[in-house]
Chains A and B, each alone.
Chain A
Amino acid sequence: MAVDTAPAPALVDDRAPARHVKAGAAYAVLGLLLVLAAVAWLGGRTTTIAFDRTLTDASWEAPTFGVVLGLGVLCAAAGAWMLVGLPQRRFKPASAVAVTAFALALLFWAYSQEGTVFRAESILAGALFLSMPYIFGALSGVVCERSGVINIGIEAQFLMGAFTGVLTANITGNIYAGMAAAMVAGSLSTMLLALLATKYQVNQVVVGVILNLLALGFTSFMYDQLKKADGFNDAFSVPVISWGPLADIPVLGPVLFQQKLFVYVGLLLVFVIWFLLYRTRWGLRTRAVGEHPAAADSMGVNVNRLRYWNVTAAGLIAGFGGAWFTLGNSLAFNKNMTAGLGFVALAVMIVGRWNPLGVLAGALIFGFTTQIARDLSAAGSGVPGEFLQMLPYAVTLVVVAGLIGKAKAPAADGVPYNPGDK
């Protein structure tokens, strides 16, 4: 980055102070609101943080008033600094501090109610686990869209994977066979998309939405048909992999070393796909096909064949993510059990700016939001459970609205490539 900006020092000096009125005012107001809220409501309350899995008898009680007040002041201070003017290179860190302080303060506030305990280890471990469908779905989206094919049908691959996974596990009695079948099912679903998008040049957004309806109809239909007999849709559970002594480390142990296979595969895939996309010949070609297919074609890349196989392979990932819904959660299949999370995964992909590492960060935020919403509604906070359940969807809406203009999709995303049209 520094190398890129160096040739034009006269135009952009990242040390010169600059004002950011809108962002600064927003953070300052939010910070002040926190301070006011703390003074008005939070006197005498405490927030209990427990390490519930490793150090079962240790817990830490924080005075909510002081913490929220401090975080509010921090947030407001960051805002004030932006209003006064700060060096350009300090803007992003200052924003990050303000947002984190605000979110933390809300968290402390939410868990200050009587009877609520922030069970740090369970919540963080659960958040990582819940971010998995977003990771698988968004990674599948990244592979498709980096190759220039829009995949709105992630929901379809989830449903197919969830259904086929549990069905195959029931028939064979083996969960790993179920996972493999889920991957194949997801892949068959994207293969149809790939075929229609490359060979038949059909509009990809339309096909994606139809694929979702098709998968919903197909899995619901089969669910009703197979329900008539026993032994096709029983829940199977995936073992938790515990890494011996590593699992006893406070916080890190339960979060990283005591999870199901899905978590390890998901985390590994993020780095594998990042490596493949940015460090291999396949990755360079894929990105080229997504940005400028005609150029890639003239360099000898068979655009539509690469797209076809990339999209088909991406289905393996999303299908595996589908198995998370049934096998990963030890649940039987149910109609429409993915509940729109395939679309949330698309939003995660946009937040992650079509980059696997960004996807990881985005998925963690969404997973954490979902986990907090679940935990708070179970603990019985003042907010109705339905509104907490809306949280991931509302965050998606805000994120998509706030980011999409700034996040740039691959240039040829969604544009069918016809070699004859050059």
Chain B
Amino acid sequence: MSDSTATTEAPAEPPAPDTEGDEAKPNFIRLFGRYLTEANSVMVTIYSLVLAFLIGAILLIVSDEYTRSTFSYFFARPQDAWYASRDLVAESYTALFEGAILNFNTLASYQAGDAEFGNLLRPISETLTYATPLIFTGLAVGLAFRAGLFNIGAQGQLIFGMMGALIVGFTLDLPIWLHLPLAIIAGGLAGGLLGAVPGVLKAATGAHEVISSIMLNNIAALFLVWALGTAFLHSETQSDLVSKPVEESAVLPTLLSSLNPSLRVNLALIIGFAAAVFTWWLLSKSTFGFRIRAVGFNEHAAATAGMRIGSTYTTTMAAAGAFAGLGGAALALGVANGGITTNTALDYGFSGITVALLGRANPGGIVASALLFGALKAGALSAQPDVPVDISTLLQATIVLFIAAPALVKAILHLRTPRGGLVTLEAKGW
């Protein structure tokens, strides 16, 4: 109500120019305040982050033995519990920040002249390195989302992509301008093939993609364990479960190692950005993207309009799998070019789900949330074992729980409903 009065007042103002500034100012503040207390998608995202970090802080306090012990005499000396909790949370989150963005110790020694500029960039480089596969898996989940498909299988597709790129990477001996693209494409193809399976199954039999893709994840993970043990893939120099290294000509060049050899971020990041731009073009400018969105909005209407639903499912899932496969190639030819292990894939595929949900299945949003979760991952990995490494998974899942349930955020914080309603993501049932 007051919103409509605000807009009708504005054109009535001009006759009195000297009061305009005075009138516009409270208006702006009021509008801004309105914006802050409204459950629109920007504010829901911000509040989700805040709430998730609050919950993370509570869990840190509850699960830390020393801090818990200070609560046992809370009523005798509450300040102990307060200081211990505050310090614990501050130290943990600072450790995450230092591992992800900027290390204050390095900054101090840089200012004192003891460290190079490259050292200062190391946390950022790690963040970008961990964000790179997340961009790809986020796109893999996000693209499928636009067709109404929930692709949980990015993990398996990433593993297959890793193996595809690896095999081309060490079997062939070609110049780099040919070898590297071939290896990357092989990764995309391998991921795309595995990704197409749930699409085909859904199109042909109606099998739900959530179940079939999670089964393929398990199968792919076990297949990798088996494949790494075979003479074809297994390293010739190491006895533990490591693959052969890829040829020098298939290694993704690093971007910043001239500044400092420890800066690992490589060309895959640029390819990831390009993939996001391509996805944006695909979804908003191409016929295929139009079909994807039409099927995602209403498959019956799309079928009535003459679109083939089954083949859209298959091609969308194949394209999604190809993105995750490219993420696998980025790993096998990038950070893990000395040989992949069962641990190389981490949980990039599953994190891709959270990336896509936080990015609301938009390419730009996916890149932004991949950077955020890459930062979380880099921070958590550098802060362990002081901070449990799974704090990144926990925070991610908590954030996207709120993102997926804007009504919950709205209820907790007593926000207003925005004019267009709450924005949510949908996936179909059986």
Minimum Cβ distance to chain A for residue B383 (Å): 12
The answer on a CB contact under 8 Å between A221 and B405 is no
Chain B residue contacts of A337, Cβ below 8 A: none
**Which of B226, B385, B427 has a CB less than 8 Å from the CB of A206?**
B427
Any chain A CB within 8 A of the CB of B400? yes
In angstroms, Cα B223 to Cα A384, docked, is 10
The answer on a CB contact under 8 Å between A400 and B211 is yes
Minimum Cβ distance to chain B for residue A350 (Å): 8
The answer on a CB contact under 8 Å between A390 and B390 is no
Chain B residue contacts of A176, Cβ below 8 A: none
The answer on a CB contact under 8 Å between A409 and B397 is no
* Most chain A Cβ neighbours within 10 Å, of B222, B398, B411: B222
A window 201-227: CB within 8 A of B: 201-207, 209-211, 213-214, 216-218, 220-226
In angstroms, Cα B393 to Cα A214, docked, is 7
Any chain A CB within 8 A of the CB of B429? yes
Interface size class of A (residues with CB under 8 A): 35 or more
* Stretch in A65-73, A178-186, A275-283, A339-347 with 4+ CB within 8 Å of B: A339-347
Chain A residue contacts of B152, Cβ below 8 A: 209
Q: Chain B: which residue is nearest A208 at the CB level? A: B210
Any chain A CB within 8 A of the CB of B219? yes
Any chain B CB within 8 A of the CB of A389? yes
The answer on a CB contact under 8 Å between B393 and A339 is no
Q: What sequence of 0s and 1s flags, for each residue 351-375 of chain B, a beta carbon within 8 Å of any chain A beta carbon?
A: 0011001000000000000000000
**Which of B211, B350, B354 has a CB less than 8 Å from the CB of A343?**
B211
| Contact A213/B63 with A152-B210, A206-B426, A343-B215 known, Cβ cut-off 8 Å | no
Any chain A CB within 8 A of the CB of B240? no
Chain A residue contacts of B201, Cβ below 8 A: 397, 400-401
Any chain A CB within 8 A of the CB of B205? yes
Minimum Cβ distance to chain B for residue A393 (Å): 4
Chain A residue contacts of B257, Cβ below 8 A: none
Chain B residue contacts of A204, Cβ below 8 A: 429
In angstroms, Cα B150 to Cα A223, docked, is 29
What count of chain B residues pass the 8 Å CB interface test? Answer: 57
Any chain B CB within 8 A of the CB of A57? no
Chain A residue contacts of B390, Cβ below 8 A: 217, 220-221, 223-224, 335
The answer on a CB contact under 8 Å between B210 and A221 is no
**Which of A203, A211, A389, A396 has a CB less than 8 Å from the CB of B211?**
A396
| Contact A209/B150 with A203-B404, A405-B205 known, Cβ cut-off 8 Å | yes
In angstroms, Cα B211 to Cα A402, docked, is 13
**Which of B59, B222, B398 has a CB less than 8 Å from the CB of A389?**
B222
In angstroms, Cα B400 to Cα A278, docked, is 38
The answer on a CB contact under 8 Å between B405 and A214 is no
In angstroms, Cα B426 to Cα A218, docked, is 25
**Which of A211, A396, A409 has a CB less than 8 Å from the CB of B430?**
A409
In angstroms, Cα B230 to Cα A384, docked, is 11
Chain B residue contacts of A211, Cβ below 8 A: 401
B window 178-228: CB within 8 A of A: 201, 204-208, 210-212, 214-219, 222-223, 225-226
In angstroms, Cα B425 to Cα A228, docked, is 39
Any chain B CB within 8 A of the CB of A387? yes
Chain A residue contacts of B59, Cβ below 8 A: 218, 221-222
Minimum Cβ distance to chain B for residue A167 (Å): 11
Chain A residue contacts of B210, Cβ below 8 A: 152, 205, 209, 343
In angstroms, Cα B395 to Cα A184, docked, is 23
Chain A residue contacts of B268, Cβ below 8 A: none
The answer on a CB contact under 8 Å between A206 and B357 is yes
The answer on a CB contact under 8 Å between A210 and B428 is no
Minimum Cβ distance to chain B for residue A227 (Å): 9
The answer on a CB contact under 8 Å between B212 and A221 is no
The answer on a CB contact under 8 Å between B404 and A346 is no
The answer on a CB contact under 8 Å between B218 and A207 is no
Chain A residue contacts of B222, Cβ below 8 A: 386-387, 389-390, 393
In angstroms, Cα B201 to Cα A402, docked, is 9
In angstroms, Cα B132 to Cα A265, docked, is 48
In angstroms, Cα B206 to Cα A223, docked, is 38
The answer on a CB contact under 8 Å between A387 and B211 is no
The answer on a CB contact under 8 Å between B63 and A343 is no
The answer on a CB contact under 8 Å between B211 and A346 is yes
Any chain B CB within 8 A of the CB of A150? yes
In angstroms, Cα B404 to Cα A401, docked, is 28
The answer on a CB contact under 8 Å between A339 and B218 is yes
Any chain B CB within 8 A of the CB of A271? no
**Which of B212, B357, B411, B427 has a CB less than 8 Å from the CB of A397?**
B212
Chain A residue contacts of B424, Cβ below 8 A: 202-203, 206
Any chain A CB within 8 A of the CB of B261? no
Any chain A CB within 8 A of the CB of B65? yes
Any chain A CB within 8 A of the CB of B408? yes
**Which of A206, A214, A409, A414 has a CB less than 8 Å from the CB of B425?**
A206
**Which of B207, B212, B217, B354 has a CB less than 8 Å from the CB of A340?**
B217
Any chain A CB within 8 A of the CB of B307? no
Chain B residue contacts of A200, Cβ below 8 A: 405, 407-408, 411
Chain B residue contacts of A213, Cβ below 8 A: 350, 353-354, 393, 396-397, 400
The answer on a CB contact under 8 Å between A401 and B207 is yes
In angstroms, Cα B216 to Cα A402, docked, is 16
Any chain A CB within 8 A of the CB of B107? no
Chain A residue contacts of B173, Cβ below 8 A: none
> What are 5 inter-chain pairs, A to B, with CB distance below 8 A?
A205-B428, A210-B397, A220-B394, A404-B430, A409-B429
Given A206-B424, A218-B59, 11 new contacts (CB under 8 A): A150-B429, A200-B405, A206-B425, A213-B397, A217-B392, A217-B393, A223-B388, A225-B388, A387-B222, A400-B201, A404-B430
